[in-house]
C-alpha cells in the first residue's frame, strides 16, 4: 500500500495541506496516549512513529510503525472514539494534523481520499489478521521473519533491503524477548536467508525468506 502523500493527486494534496496543520515531534516524544479522545487524523510528512501498547509495567508491544507519507490511527479518527494505543516519535518527525471535522468533510467531498482510507483500513485488517496468526502459531524464526518482511515493504523496493530497526523494536513487534529475537535472526542468517553486516540486517533476496516462511 503506497503512502497517502505519495499517491495523492495535486488537488487532494492541496486540500490535505490547506485543512491541516504541521507539527514537529522529537525522538521519544508522545503524540497521543492510549485512551485519549481521537480528535484528529495524523499523517507523517517526514520521520517515523510507532504505535505501542503497554500490557504491563516495563513491557512495550509495538502495534505498528508508520513513516514518510503514511496516515495512521484512521479508525478512531473516523468514529470519534479513543485512540487504542500510544503514538511515539522514533526520530524527529513532522506530522500533518487534520482535525476530525475536516477529516470527515474530506471523506464526503473527495472520492480519491475516501478510497485511500478504505484501502488503508482493508490493508490494516489483513495485516492485523496475519499478525495474530503469526503470534499464535509461528516459531520465533517465523515470527521474526514475518516482521522483517513487513519492515522491508516500507523500505525502498531496490534490493538488497537494509532493515534499520533495532533488535529490541523487532522483538516488540514479534512479541518476543530481545534475546530470543537475536537468536532467531542468527538462525535465519545461518540458513543464508539474511545477512548481518556491521550489526544491521540485510535482506538480499526477500523472496527467499518469504518462501521459507510459507
Helix (H, G, I), strand (E, B) or coil at 74: helix
* Angstrom distance (rounded) from CA 136 to CA 125: 17
Per-residue model confidence as pLDDT tens digits over 93-136: 999 999 999 999 999 999 999 999 999 999 888 877 777 766 66
Peptide bond into 160 cis (omega under 30): yes
- pTM for the full model? 0.73
Per-residue model confidence as pLDDT tens digits over 29-69: 999 999 999 999 999 999 999 999 887 777 778 888 999 99
Q: Which of 147-152's residues contact partners 24+ apart within 8 Å by CB, and which partners?
A: 147/173, 147/174, 148/194, 148/201, 148/203, 148/209, 149/206, 149/209, 149/210, 149/213, 151/65, 152/203, 152/206
pLDDT for 156 beyond 60:
no
Per-residue model confidence as pLDDT tens digits over 4-32: 888 889 999 999 999 999 999 999 999 99
Q: Kindly state the cell numbers that stand for 118.
A: 478504505
Q: Where are the alpha helices (DSSP H) in 55-177?
A: 74-79, 100-109, 111-137, 140-154, 167-174
Q: For the chain, what is the mean pLDDT? A: 89
* Angstrom distance (rounded) from CA 44 to CA 72: 8
Q: Classify each residue of 63-101 as buried b or exposed e, where b means 16 or more C-beta atoms within 10 Å of its C-beta.
A: bbbbbbbbbbbbebbbeeeebebbbbbbeebebbbbebe
CA 134 to chain centre: 17
The structural domains of the chain, ordered by start, are 4-134 (2.60.120.10), 139-213 (1.10.10.10)
Q: How confident is the model at residue 139 (pLDDT cuts 50, 70, 90)?
A: confident
* Angstrom distance (rounded) from CA 74 to CA 56: 25
Cell 464526503, residue located: 108
First to last CA, the chain: 21
Amino acid at each position: 500500500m503506497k503512502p497517502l502523500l505519495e499517491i495523492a493527486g495535486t488537488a487532494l494534496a492541496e486540500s490535505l495541506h490547506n485543512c491541516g496543520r504541521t507539527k514537529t515531534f522529537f525522538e521519544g516524544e508522545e503524540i497521543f496516549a492510549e485512551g485519549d479522545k481521537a480528535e484528529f487524523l495524523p499523517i507523517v510528512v517526514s520521520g517515523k512513529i510507532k504505535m505501542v501498547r503497554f500490557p504491563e509495567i516495563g513491557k512495550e508491544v509495538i502495534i505498528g510503525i508508520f513513516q514518510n507519507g503514511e496516515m495512521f490511527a484512521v479508525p478512531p479518527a473516523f468514529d470519534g472514539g479513543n485512540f487504542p494505543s500510544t503514538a511515539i516519535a522514533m526520530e524527529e518527525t513532522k506530522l500533518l494534523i487534520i482535525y476530525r471535522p475536516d477529516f470527515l468533510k474530506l471523506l464526503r467531498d473527495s472520492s480519491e481520499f475516501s478510497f485511500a482510507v478504505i484501502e488503508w483500513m482493508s490493508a490494516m485488517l489483513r495485516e492485523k489478521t496475519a499478525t495474530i496468526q503469526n503470534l499464535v502459531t509461528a516459531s520465533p524464526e517465523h515470527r521474526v521473519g514475518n516482521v522483517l518482511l513487513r519492515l522491508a515493504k516500507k523500505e525502498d523496493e531496490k534490493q538488497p533491503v537494509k532493515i534499520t530497526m533495532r533488535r529490541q523494536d523487532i522483538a516488540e513487534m514479534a512479541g518476543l524477548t530481545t534475546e530470543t529475537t537475536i537468536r532467531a535472526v542468527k538462525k535465519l542468517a545461518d540458513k543464508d536467508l539474511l545477512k548481518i553486516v556491521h550489526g544491521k540486517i540485510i535482506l538480499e533476496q526477500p523472496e527467499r525468506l518469504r518462501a521459507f516462511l510459507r
